């Protein structure tokens, strides 16, 4: 359900659903990517960055997309 909301650019609803599954998802690279993606597109780059970093640590499953979003977050928040 969270993914569906992300796909429809309803990022706040997506985050509510995704974060409710944090106990099940926080060791899942795809879950971390989706949370980061929702924060990123909700213009919350600082909140998105840790999720993209964890996704990378767990194994980037998005063919370089995680690296792209990580770089964009770092550029925009000036880390």
| CATH classification at residue 10 | 1.25.40.10
User: Which one is predicted more confidently, 60 or 12?
Assistant: 12
Range of the domain at 22: 2-77
Instruction: Examine the pLDDT at 1 and tell me if it is beyond 70.
Output: no
Q: Closest by alpha carbon to 54, among 76, 74, 30? A: 30
Structural domain total, the chain: 1
Query: Per-residue pLDDT tens for 21-52?
Result: 777 778 899 889 989 988 998 899 999 999 99
What predicted TM-score, i.e. pTM, was given to this entire model?
A: 0.82
Q: Mean pLDDT of all residues in the chain? A: 83
C-alpha span between 55 and 48 (Å, rounded): 11
């Amino acid at each position: 359900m969270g993914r569906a909301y992300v796909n429809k650019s309803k990022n706040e609803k997506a985050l509510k659903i995704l974060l409710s599954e944090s106990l099940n998802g926080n060791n899942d690279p795809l879950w971390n990517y989706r949370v980061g993606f929702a924060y990123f597109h909700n213009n919350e780059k600082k909140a998105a960055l840790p999720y993209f970093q964890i996704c990378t640590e767990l194994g980037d499953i998005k063919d370089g997309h995680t690296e792209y979003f990580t770089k964009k977050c770092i550029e925009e928040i000036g880390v």
